[in-house]
């Protein structure tokens, strides 16, 4: 495979991640988002499909392994956000009888916004790791790349 093709795939995967993050941000902001626009499982998003699919061909590169953990963390945070916004009502019986559902919804929205800040921070870490991987691919000669693929 040509270096140009690998870089193109990597850049498309990076772009897919940025789009995924934008959908997560829209969701927390209350904008309508289609279910398939923000996949919960880290292997189901477009970035994950690349990373665990064709991206494996460059998994021997030093910076490749720095990507997996922050990527999984993003999806774990998103699951928590999704549960807060759309999950089962986890209030106690007492709260259900005497509490305010709108108060709980407002509290969950605040928690979701705080988690979104964590998601954005980890996304920054992931993007830095992707940029390092891109730099590493750029530095490898086509000949050396061909020998290790």
- CA 10 to CA 108: how far, in whole Å? 35
Domain assignment present for residue 149? The answer is no
pLDDT class of 75 with cuts at 50, 70, 90: very high
pLDDT class of 96 with cuts at 50, 70, 90: very low
Domain assignment present for residue 122? The answer is yes
Tell me the pTM: 0.83
pLDDT class of 109 with cuts at 50, 70, 90: very high
107 contacts 92 by C-beta, under 8 angstroms: no
Model confidence pLDDT, tens digit, residues 4-54 = 999 999 999 999 999 999 999 998 998 888 877 777 899 999 999 999 999
Q: Which residues of 18-42 are buried (b: 16+ CB within 10 A; e: fewer)?
A: eebbebbbebbeeeebeeeebbeeb
Sign of CA dihedral 74, 5, 61, 54: positive
How many domains in the chain?
A: 1
Domain assignment present for residue 33? The answer is yes
Domain assignment present for residue 148? The answer is no
pLDDT at position 114 over 60: yes
Domain assignment present for residue 8? The answer is yes
**Domain residues for 129?**
3-143
Model confidence pLDDT, tens digit, residues 126-149 = 999 999 999 999 999 888 878 777
Domain assignment present for residue 15? The answer is yes
């Amino acid at each position: 495979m040509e270096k140009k093709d690998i870089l193109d795939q990597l850049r498309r995967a990076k772009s897919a991640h940025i789009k995924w993050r934008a959908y997560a941000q829209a969701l927390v902001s209350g904008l309508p988002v289609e279910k398939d626009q923000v996949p919960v499982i880290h292997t189901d998003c477009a970035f994950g499909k690349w990373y665990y699919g064709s991206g494996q061909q460059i998994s021997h590169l030093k910076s490749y392994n720095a990507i997996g953990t922050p990527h999984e963390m993003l999806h774990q945070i998103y699951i928590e956000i999704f549960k807060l916004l759309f999950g089962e009502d986890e209030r106690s019986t007492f709260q259900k009888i005497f509490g305010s559902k709108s108060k709980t919804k407002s509290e969950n929205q605040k928690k979701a916004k705080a988690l979104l800040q964590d998601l954005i921070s980890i996304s920054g870490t992931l993007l830095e790791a992707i940029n390092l991987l891109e730099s590493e691919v750029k530095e490898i000669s086509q000949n050396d790349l061909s020998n290790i693929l």
